[in-house]
Chain A
Amino acid sequence: MAVEKLTLGKALNAGLRRAMEADPKVVLAGEDIGALGGVFRITEGLQKDFGESRVIDSPLAESGILGTAVGMAMRGYRPVCEVQFDGFVFPAFDQIVTQWAKMHNRTLGAVKMPIVLRLPFGGGIGAVEHHSESPEAYFAHTPGLKVVSPSNPVDAYWMIQQAIASEDPVVFLEPKRRYHEKAEVDVEASPRPLHEAVVARPGKDLTLLAYGPMMKTCLQAADAAAEEGVDIEVVDLRTLAPLDMPTIIESVRRTTRAVVVHEAPLSGGLGGEIAARLHETLFYDMEAPVLRVGGYDLPYPPSRAEDEYLPDLDRVLDAVDRSLAH
């Protein structure tokens, strides 16, 4: 067993390296990803080893990055695009939703779009405006896109490789405030399929459903609840489009209570979609309505207010209490 202790960021780097070694058609593109290794150093050292034609420093234009990736994919390449921050993705929004997401459909399947958009997302790092957002619902709402988010180094290592191997567009949301979390990664293990959720912590009283940066928060909440004698199950969604409903439903059928947690604003968010599907499926099995904990319906706040804005252990446990009170 080849086990390495890696941060989430280093695990992504190692996964990218392995994907590039496995397939010469894999190219990386983005701003500052070459000599600098990206603003978060996720691509550190890759240009040195794979050259400038495979690790492409892009001009400073996000629509250009995604739009040229669409063209490269039509030529047979598998581009992995980095957009530096969540709030900088919108100049590329048109290319993402009208072109990248639809080209396979438009050409009746003659053209595939095996592009990955790597997007550091979420708050909690004390950043200035546009550096802390959670735009996943826009992408999960768009037919043609697939959306995933790893929450830990092991998943980061495997999921980036699986996303690159996917024949479909994948928006790959990286929990930037967890880049430095460490774990042992077995690089010879067999990974679970990309579009599967996983029970990260088993429990019997209530299911917490989360992904990306909120997984750590939810696992901590489960630990705290255990001290009070409440046995919480935590499901790491991992895939937001498509959602792995069988795993979600199996868990909530057992626990009969569910709370969905995400940083993104509540209205129109993934939590609402999950709640709706659970109610459609498990209406008579649940002891309480599905509750949601998320960002308030505000523009992401100034960083000195973000601790109050972001779901934390207390807000998660408050929702747990409200669910159990039903």
Chain B
Amino acid sequence: MADPAHEMVQLLTPEGERVEHPDFTFDGSDEDVAGYLRDMVMTRRLDNEATALQRQGELGLWAPCLGQEAAQVGSGRATRAQDVVFPSYREHGVAWTRGVKPVTLLGLFRGVSLGGWDPHANYFAPYAIVIGTQALHGTGYAMGVLNDGAVGTGDPDRDTAVVTYFGDGATSQGDVNEAFVFANSYTAPVVFFCQNNQWAISEPITRQSKIPLYRRADGFGFPGIQVDGNDVLAVHAVTTWALNRARNGEGPALIEAFTYRMGAHTTSDDPTKYRLAEELETWKLKDPIERVKAYLARRGVIDQAWLDDLQAEADDMAAEMRAGCLALPDPDMGDLFDLVYAEQTEHLREQQAEYRAYAASFEEEN
């Protein structure tokens, strides 16, 4: 890679036509592409179901990833089992590719936990709500990988990369910029995956940057590359390249996945106040799922029956997620005292006992 891409990498046009790129190729099979299509459809379905759950009062909030399925699935599917993902709070499609059960993501949004999953179970770190903080966590984790000697050994099951996700707004945060500095200083095996979905709540990308975000990497001294974030093949190819570099000990890279937040920032947001409907209509023509359907149908890989089966599978998944959501137990206030420290303090034990006694006094009255 003598010259990082100077223009947006695309391998599949919005019309579903395969195009070639001088530096990046997609080596997967038709079955792989059909798998990504399945991942994207499942992601959109779980995202829609979660939005519905919020509208019905079952979730306090949801941050939809509608429109960003290709960026998330293409990159997530480029990771290996031992690679580690540090997400923001919108990476539901990445979570899907890592094998995180959809209902697991809902605890945070339903208000029954503050995240609540074991990051080591799927090498998928907790959702980070304070913008950009996770970029440093991913970089620090990658520094640990480096200290462990788990890069550049040539063993595909040992060499490990970290990928940290954030949005266009996060690139203005100090933490993200500090992560760039640390990662490059130590040649840490971390890939910075920025989904530029054009909007940081109500602020357009031009408020964050006057140059394309991928060019920021230049100033930090590592490669930056812009990819069509609605093209799952291109995203997969570019992320595979960046992860391989990282695993080989060649250090960080910044990927700017150029995409669009087709939904609201969160279910509390109202995009009609700050952006034009025409913009959304334009981006609908670039839908990440439709182009893959067109491509695979034209090649005879899938047909309507295949799509119908997939939709049925997605509906089953959504129904299971909904049932799981409604069955999530509310947290027990008294138990929360146990989670603050690994080594509980006497003071907190006393406060816990006071709380339990106070709560019990009501039960006695009843």
Contact = CB atoms under 8 A, between A and B. Distances in A.
A104 B341 contact: yes
Interface of A: 27, 53-54, 56, 58-59, 61, 63-64, 66-77, 91, 94-95, 98-99, 102-114, 143-144, 146, 166-168, 195, 242-243, 245-246
A91 B136 CA distance: 14
Interface residues of B, number: 46
Nearest to A239: B345
A63 B341 contact: no
B7 interface: no
B294 interface: no
Contact of A245 (B138, B147, B347): B347
Contact of B178 (A64, A111, A242): A64
B299 interface: no
Contact of B116 (A75, A107, A246): A107
Interface of B: 86, 113-121, 125-126, 128, 130, 133, 135-148, 174-175, 178-179, 181-182, 185, 338-343, 345-348
B118 A75 contact: no
B341 A72 contact: no
A146 B182 CA distance: 27
A82 B50 CA distance: 43
B181 A70 contact: no
A110 B114 CA distance: 13
A64 B144 contact: no
Contacts of A66: 136
26 contacts: A56-B143, A61-B182, A63-B136, A64-B136, A67-B137, A67-B179, A71-B136, A71-B137, A71-B140, A71-B142, A72-B144, A73-B140, A74-B125, A74-B144, A94-B133, A106-B116, A107-B116, A107-B119, A107-B126, A109-B338, A111-B120, A113-B342, A144-B340, A168-B342, A168-B343, A242-B348
Given A54-B147, A107-B126, 15 more contacts: A53-B146, A64-B175, A67-B136, A68-B140, A70-B136, A71-B144, A74-B119, A75-B148, A94-B175, A98-B130, A99-B137, A104-B341, A111-B118, A112-B342, A168-B341
Judged by DSSP, the binding face of B is: helix
A70 B140 contact: yes
Contact of A67 (B113, B125, B178): B178
B352 to A, nearest CB: 13
Contacts of A27: 147
Contacts of A146: 341, 345
A110 B345 CA distance: 18
A108 B140 contact: no
- For the complex of A and B, 5 pairs with smallest distance between CB atoms: A71-B140, A67-B136, A75-B144, A68-B140, A64-B178
Contacts of A108: 113, 116, 118, 339
Contact of A95 (B121, B125, B133, B348): B133
From A69, A110, A167, A243, residue with most partner B Cβ within 10 Å: A110
A143 B148 CA distance: 32
A98 B129 CA distance: 10
A300 to B, nearest CB: 25
A108 B137 CA distance: 18
